[in-house]
Amino acid sequence: MMMLTKKMIEIRGLLQTVGQSDSLTLPAIVVIGSQSSGKSSVLEAIVGHEFLPKGSNMVTRRPIELTLVNTPDAHAEYGEFPALGLGKVTDFSQIQKTLTDLNLAVPTNDCVSDDPIQLRIYSPNVPDLSLIDLPGYIQVTGRDQPPELKERIAELCEKYIRAPNVILAISAADVDLANSTALRASRKVDPRGERTIGVITKMDLVDAERGASLLSDRKYALRLGYVGVVCRVPSSASGPKLFNRGNGNITTAIAKNESAYFSSHAEFGPESHLDVGTKNLRKKLMHVLEQTMAASLKTTGEAIQRELAEATYEYKVQYNERSLSAESYLAESLDAFKHSFRGFSEQFGRQEVRELLKHELDQQVLNLLAQRYWNRPLEDLSVPLPETDRLARLVKADPEGEDQIWKIKLDSSSAALTKLGVGRLATGVVASALQAHIDRLITTSRFEAHPFARQAITEASTSILKDLSYDISDELEICIKPYKYRIEVDDNEWAKGRENVTGVLREELKVCESAVKRVEEQIGGRKKAKDVMAFIDRVRSGQVVLEGDGVGGAGGFSSALLHKGRESVFLRDRSDVLKMRLLAIKSKQCANKKSKYHCPEVFLDAVADKLTTTADLFLDAELLSKFYYIFPRELDARLGRGLSQGEIDRFAREDPKIRRHLDVVRRKDLLEHVLKEMDGLRQLEAREKRYAAKR
């Protein structure tokens, strides 16, 4: 028959993982008793080890669901806390410490918690039992304890001692049974004494005659009877406690002690028919639990059927019977992400790199032109314009390009461009574009709702790009090295540069003009803007002298207005320059590359174009193709094979929708599994019955 209990306890454990529901469980033995009644000693005598929290300060604040699993062929004895994932704990003082920590983690103000601690103990020396240890009843609340503590403990116990659980009511022999809180509580919920086992501890503290009379109590007669025990661990067995917490089994020592006591008193002899000793208690518990569990099987089975029907309905209606596991969810999400990445990689190639780089270099060319060619001193309003307007000279310069200054100017400008650090700049531009695209892909993928995966993907791409960029930018710098010494531009390139730079300048002109409009609006309209600018022009040409830089305003304009005015003047001048240069580029003179010194815009554009061509070819071959190869593999490593089951579960459950779906699937699977187990149990039961009949 013992196989049945084991199986039923297993099923009880499975039901615990389905979720808390009163009807969805099998009965257990609930242990209640006042503080110091000897409750812990009884449980420890059954287990054979000291493992429960000890101390005066209310050490049990949560129920302990204790599952004992008999392992007849094993030698090792160990405990497991399924919720904590600590693995096998073979040191019972470690189990004791863990239980103490878990209990003390309940805030004192909360008094007690009804969230049970699950503990399983595996040993060849324990019977298959399912016990629930509850906080001991207290008579008076201590000074440092909340006043409602007594009440809260009583409520918690009451919740657990409901039918069909078996009540193990512990009372000490040296306290009047009429005063036993455990028996009183039990009587309230089990008035006919049908599912309560009375345990009288500390039998050695009263004389044998009185002890014997306690065990045959008639005032609260119990169908399952009373058992008398002496559970104190003889000091020789556990050693001096403070110094030597032994891990040895205490069962034999207790049994010896007990039988020495009971056999020396005739009152407990075989004729008395009194039930005494821990050994008998164990037997009784096993028997009663098996009977009670078996009696509950039918109703529990029905409850499971009902729950399963509900879960199946939800699965069908809400999720269209779509099966889902954390693994399949992750695999699908990863596949979808890799698919969208492949799509991106097919669209982002050399041409896209080229556009990015050319745009970047166009900006660099514009900066150089502004610094070196278009620079009228606009910034200092108190200084009048220089006599020679360099720009005017440039436009009018002689077509042969004899002027040495212009030659030097162009050479140094072109050198500035080639020595800009194109390797680093271009690699950086492309790498950040790739990163930005990956970030965009994440936001449009399922991973958007998963912080863990988002971070893993971002880290994968940044680290690959960082690693690649380091060498690639150096190598690219070497590729463009020849241009640092000499640049030849042919007619075709010149024509292309002329066309392209015209577009760039036009675009810049547009930007300037819209900026002018914006500033004018900020100043308060075109007319007002004109007035401010006219004033600034007068200052610039020396007609007006500003006092103290115009801080605090001048000419009837506030300093903020002057500031805006200067901005406007700058933009107007920039627009004028651009218009002038556009005319120059369009002119016949700039149609010929011979006038390159006077058409620096065209020449620098041609240089930028050459640099771009070298860089895009190189970056396409080195950065893009390598990144496209490595990145999906890195994703597999970080989000595929590399994850533990726990991480995969945590990942999938980050998304509340998926969590609900997973829960329904899991619940349904578990309930189906439990039902199958129950079927197996029925078959086992039938087999055992047939076997017993044959005997």
Give the integer Cα–Cα distance in Å for 132 and 167: 10
Number of neighbouring beta carbons within 10 Å of residue 562: 23
Stretch that binds ligand GDP, among 196-204, 393-401, 413-421, 458-466 (CB under 6 A): 196-204
Least distance (Å) between residue 235 CB and ligand GDP: 10
Amino acid at 75: H
Number of neighbouring beta carbons within 10 Å of residue 542: 11
Our CB check for ligand GDP shows the closer of 232 and 538 to be: 232
Mark residues 82-121: x for contact with ligand GDP by CB under 6 A, - for none.
----------------------------------------
Q: Is 37 in the site for ligand GDP (CB under 6 A)?
A: yes
Q: Is 49 in the site for ligand GDP (CB under 6 A)?
A: no
Least distance (Å) between residue 231 CB and ligand GDP: 4
Give the integer Cα–Cα distance in Å for 126 and 72: 9
Contact by Cβ (8 Å): 427, 621: no
Least distance (Å) between residue 202 CB and ligand GDP: 4
Our CB check for ligand GDP shows the closer of 36 and 340 to be: 36
Least distance (Å) between residue 290 CB and ligand GDP: 26
Contact by Cβ (8 Å): 92, 144: no
Structure-token pair, residue 449: 């709702």
Least distance (Å) between residue 162 CB and ligand GDP: 22
Least distance (Å) between residue 447 CB and ligand GDP: 52
DSSP letter assigned to residue 269: S
Structure-token pair, residue 647: 């991480």
Structure-token pair, residue 189: 């919920």
Residue 133 DSSP SS3: strand
Give the integer Cα–Cα distance in Å for 275 and 512: 103
Given 5, 16, 25, 40, the residue binding ligand GDP (CB under 6 A): 40
Q: Is 33 in the site for ligand GDP (CB under 6 A)?
A: yes
Q: Is 35 in the site for ligand GDP (CB under 6 A)?
A: yes
Stretch that binds ligand GDP, among 31-39, 122-130, 240-248, 325-333 (CB under 6 A): 31-39
Given 6, 150, 152, 232, the residue binding ligand GDP (CB under 6 A): 232
Our CB check for ligand GDP shows the closer of 41 and 427 to be: 41
Judging by DSSP bridges, how do beta strands 196-201 and 166-172 pair with one another? parallel
Q: What is the largest CA-CA distance in the chain?
A: 137
Task: Outline where 216-277 has alpha helix (H).
Answer: 235-238, 251-263
Our CB check for ligand GDP shows the closer of 37 and 296 to be: 37
Phi, psi of 430 (to 5 degrees): -70, -40
Least distance (Å) between residue 284 CB and ligand GDP: 17
Q: By CB under 6 A, how many residues form the interface with ligand GDP? A: 16
Given 201, 278, 418, 469, the residue binding ligand GDP (CB under 6 A): 201
Q: Is 528 in the site for ligand GDP (CB under 6 A)?
A: no
Q: Which region holds residue 209: left if phi is over 0, alpha if psi is between -120 and 50, else beta? A: alpha
Given 99, 230, 456, 505, the residue binding ligand GDP (CB under 6 A): 230
Least distance (Å) between residue 170 CB and ligand GDP: 7
Our CB check for ligand GDP shows the closer of 52 and 457 to be: 52
Q: Is 38 in the site for ligand GDP (CB under 6 A)?
A: yes
Short-list 157, 177, 190, 215, CA closest to 30: 157
Least distance (Å) between residue 36 CB and ligand GDP: 4
Contact by Cβ (8 Å): 160, 116: no
Q: Is 184 in the site for ligand GDP (CB under 6 A)?
A: no
Our CB check for ligand GDP shows the closer of 139 and 443 to be: 139
Structure-token pair, residue 518: 């914006």
Cis link prior to 384 (omega < 30° from 0)? no
Give Cβ neighbours of residue 448 (< 8 Å, ≥ 6 apart).
Answer: 442, 454
**Residue 390, CA distances (Å) to 245, 366, 372 in order:** 96, 18, 10
The residue assigned the tokens 């900020």 is 522
Contact by Cβ (8 Å): 303, 24: yes
Least distance (Å) between residue 38 CB and ligand GDP: 4
Q: Is 228 in the site for ligand GDP (CB under 6 A)?
A: no
Stretch that binds ligand GDP, among 76-84, 197-205, 505-513, 652-660 (CB under 6 A): 197-205
Stretch that binds ligand GDP, among 36-44, 334-342, 380-388, 654-662 (CB under 6 A): 36-44
Q: Is 36 in the site for ligand GDP (CB under 6 A)?
A: yes
Stretch that binds ligand GDP, among 123-131, 227-235, 506-514, 576-584 (CB under 6 A): 227-235
Our CB check for ligand GDP shows the closer of 98 and 201 to be: 201
Q: Is 257 in the site for ligand GDP (CB under 6 A)?
A: no
Contact by Cβ (8 Å): 195, 224: yes
Q: Is 415 exposed, middle or buried (0-12, 13-18, 19+ CB in 10 A)?
A: middle
Task: Outline where 480-490 has alpha helix (H).
Answer: none
Least distance (Å) between residue 52 CB and ligand GDP: 7
Q: Is 204 in the site for ligand GDP (CB under 6 A)?
A: yes
Stretch that binds ligand GDP, among 73-81, 226-234, 372-380, 682-690 (CB under 6 A): 226-234
Our CB check for ligand GDP shows the closer of 33 and 497 to be: 33
Sign of dihedral through CA atoms 308, 313, 315, 321? positive
Short-list 561, 563, 586, 568, CA closest to 513: 568
**Residue 363, CA distances (Å) to 271, 369, 628 in order:** 109, 10, 28
Stretch that binds ligand GDP, among 191-199, 224-232, 423-431, 530-538 (CB under 6 A): 224-232
Give the integer Cα–Cα distance in Å for 648 and 614: 45
Number of neighbouring beta carbons within 10 Å of residue 52: 23
Given 27, 136, 198, 211, the residue binding ligand GDP (CB under 6 A): 136
Least distance (Å) between residue 233 CB and ligand GDP: 7
Binding site for ligand GDP (CB under 6 A): 33, 35-41, 136, 201-202, 204-205, 230-232
